[in-house]
């Protein structure tokens, strides 16, 4: 018992420190979103719908959110996916993946909950009893999952046991066979959670490069031009924060020009443009939008968030997306890197 508690505490400390680190670094790695309650890999509404559908009839958004928490808590400990599947199946059986308060447990009704249960003095997603830990931890999706996983890891050879046996060893349930029937749906939900898009996306999918980075003809061309027609949606390449939304167009004597009209090769400036600051100190810049961008400075964006529409404002000879990648959140000539290679490193072919 003491050992379990110690393990749980240690787990929480490591988990907590790691979550803080994640917030500070803002990394876009999938596992890093665990416990941050936001950040790089937030599932979309469509993701939640698909996860709820995978869980089965009667499951909705709240249960899908808990399933994500359960799965990512397991993934954050570098456990095999099966740990997440076992935990989700167990929560399906114990609570239908709801945080259940219990009128027999003083205080549980005062904590956030999705419904009430009446089973002895059990509470939470996993129907854990008071000896498992503090009430607040048992009623919290992430910490109750941590306690479940602590106990699961204590089961010798849990990876190779049938799901029902592993779950039964942890839960000491009166109905051991009840867990098995949830395995297919728990597995489907886990697969759906694992597939949540967290990486980089093509900002104008389907349109390739028609002018390269710092060619001999254009040695100061700090990006690539993507041959997308006017009006094409420009999508944020990765999660991050919008740090710049500007009209930058001026003539030879520095007079500001409109970005709501087509520019020309004779004027200077990027036109309507947006910069998004990403994890790892990276920044992407999207130029020549035809109208005021769809985002504002300070907006948090996900991969695929609409930033604006392709146009030809600023120094431009025709509609296209000029795309830059920088290794600093304060972009200048020296921080620009070659976008095709930069996107390739993130698994995206420009």
Q: Which is nearer to Zn ion, 209 or 279 (CB)?
A: 209
Which residue's Cβ has the minimum distance to Zn ion? 322
Q: Which stretch binds Zn ion (CB under 5 A): 41-49, 115-123, 170-178, 314-322?
A: 314-322
Nearest-approach distance from CB 321 to Zn ion, in angstroms: 8
Q: Which stretch binds Zn ion (CB under 5 A): 40-48, 190-198, 219-227, 268-276?
A: 219-227
Q: Which is nearer to Zn ion, 41 or 289 (CB)?
A: 289
The answer to whether 271 and 264 have CB atoms below 8 angstroms apart is no
The answer to whether 307 and 236 have CB atoms below 8 angstroms apart is yes
Number of Cβ atoms within 10 Å of the Cβ of 215: 10
Examine residue 192 and tell whether it contacts Zn ion (CB under 5 A). Answer: no
Examine residue 225 and tell whether it contacts Zn ion (CB under 5 A). Answer: yes
Q: Which stretch binds Zn ion (CB under 5 A): 36-44, 60-68, 105-113, 315-323?
A: 315-323
* Phi-psi label, residue 203: left if phi above 0, alpha if psi -120 to 50, beta otherwise: alpha
H or E segment and range at residue 309: strand 306-309
The answer to whether 227 and 204 have CB atoms below 8 angstroms apart is no
Separation in Å, CA 235 to CA 45, 120, 289: 17, 52, 12
**Residue 265 per-residue DSSP state:** T
DSSP 17-61: HHHHHHHHHT---GGGGTTTSSSTTPPPHHHHHHHHHHH-TT--H
Q: Which is nearer to Zn ion, 202 or 322 (CB)?
A: 322
Q: Which is nearer to Zn ion, 132 or 273 (CB)?
A: 273
Nearest-approach distance from CB 243 to Zn ion, in angstroms: 20
Q: Which is nearer to Zn ion, 113 or 221 (CB)?
A: 221
Q: Which is nearer to Zn ion, 223 or 303 (CB)?
A: 223
Separation in Å, CA 90 to CA 79, 170, 184: 16, 10, 12
Examine residue 315 and tell whether it contacts Zn ion (CB under 5 A). Answer: no
Separation in Å, CA 215 to CA 87, 195, 225, 264: 54, 38, 12, 20
Separation in Å, CA 38 to CA 28, 64, 301, 322: 11, 15, 11, 30
Examine residue 94 and tell whether it contacts Zn ion (CB under 5 A). Answer: no
Q: Which is nearer to Zn ion, 39 or 271 (CB)?
A: 271
Nearest-approach distance from CB 262 to Zn ion, in angstroms: 15
The answer to whether 212 and 324 have CB atoms below 8 angstroms apart is no
Q: Which stretch binds Zn ion (CB under 5 A): 5-13, 223-231, 236-244, 293-301?
A: 223-231
Nearest-approach distance from CB 76 to Zn ion, in angstroms: 40
Q: Which stretch binds Zn ion (CB under 5 A): 50-58, 189-197, 225-233, 260-268?
A: 225-233
Nearest-approach distance from CB 110 to Zn ion, in angstroms: 58
Cα 306 from Cα 311, distance rounded (Å): 14
For Zn ion, which residue of 284, 322, 326, 350 counts as binding (CB under 5 A)? 322
Interface size with Zn ion, residues (CB under 5 A): 2
Nearest-approach distance from CB 221 to Zn ion, in angstroms: 6
| Helices 45-55 + 61-76 axis angle, to 10 | 90
Q: Which stretch binds Zn ion (CB under 5 A): 70-78, 218-226, 324-332, 337-345?
A: 218-226
Q: Which is nearer to Zn ion, 41 or 224 (CB)?
A: 224
Which residue ranges make up the site for Zn ion (CB under 5 A)? 225, 322
């Amino acid at each position: 018992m003491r050992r379990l508690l110690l393990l749980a505490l240690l787990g929480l400390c490591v988990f907590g420190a790691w979550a803080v680190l994640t917030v500070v670094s803002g990394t876009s790695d999938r596992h890093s979103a665990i416990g941050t309650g936001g950040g790089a890999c937030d599932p979309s509404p469509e993701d939640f719908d698909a996860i709820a559908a995978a869980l089965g009839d009667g499951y909705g958004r709240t249960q899908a959110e808990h399933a994500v928490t359960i799965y990512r808590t397991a993934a954050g400990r570098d456990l095999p996916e099966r740990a997440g599947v076992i935990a989700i199946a167990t929560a399906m059986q114990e609570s239908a993946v709801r945080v259940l308060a219990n009128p027999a447990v003083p205080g549980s009704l005062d904590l956030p909950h999705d419904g009430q249960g009446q089973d002895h003095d059990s509470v939470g997603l996993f129907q854990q009893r008071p000896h498992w830990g503090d009430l607040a931890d048992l009623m919290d999706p992430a910490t109750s999952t941590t306690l479940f996983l602590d106990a699961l890891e204590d089961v010798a050879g849990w990876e190779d046991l049938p799901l029902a046996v592993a779950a039964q060893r942890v839960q000491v349930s009166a109905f051991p066979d009840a867990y098995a029937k949830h395995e297919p749906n728990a597995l489907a939900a886990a697969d759906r959670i694992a597939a949540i898009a967290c990486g980089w996306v093509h900002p104008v999918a389907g349109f390739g490069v028609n002018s390269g980075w710092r060619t001999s003809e254009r040695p100061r061309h700090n990006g690539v031009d993507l041959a997308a027609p006017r009006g094409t949606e420009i999508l944020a390449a990765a999660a991050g924060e919008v740090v710049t939304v500007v009209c930058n167009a001026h003539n030879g004597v520095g007079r500001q020009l409109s970005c709501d009209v087509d520019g020309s090769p004779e004027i200077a400036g990027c036109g309507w443009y947006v910069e998004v600051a990403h994890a790892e100190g990276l920044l992407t810049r999207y130029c020549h939008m035809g109208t005021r961008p769809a985002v504002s400075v300070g907006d948090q964006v996900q991969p695929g968030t609409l930033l604006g529409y392709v146009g030809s404002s600023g120094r431009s000879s025709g509609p296209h997306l000029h795309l830059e990648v920088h290794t600093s959140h304060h972009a200048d000539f020296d921080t620009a890197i070659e976008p095709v290679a930069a996107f390739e490193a993130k698994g995206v072919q420009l």
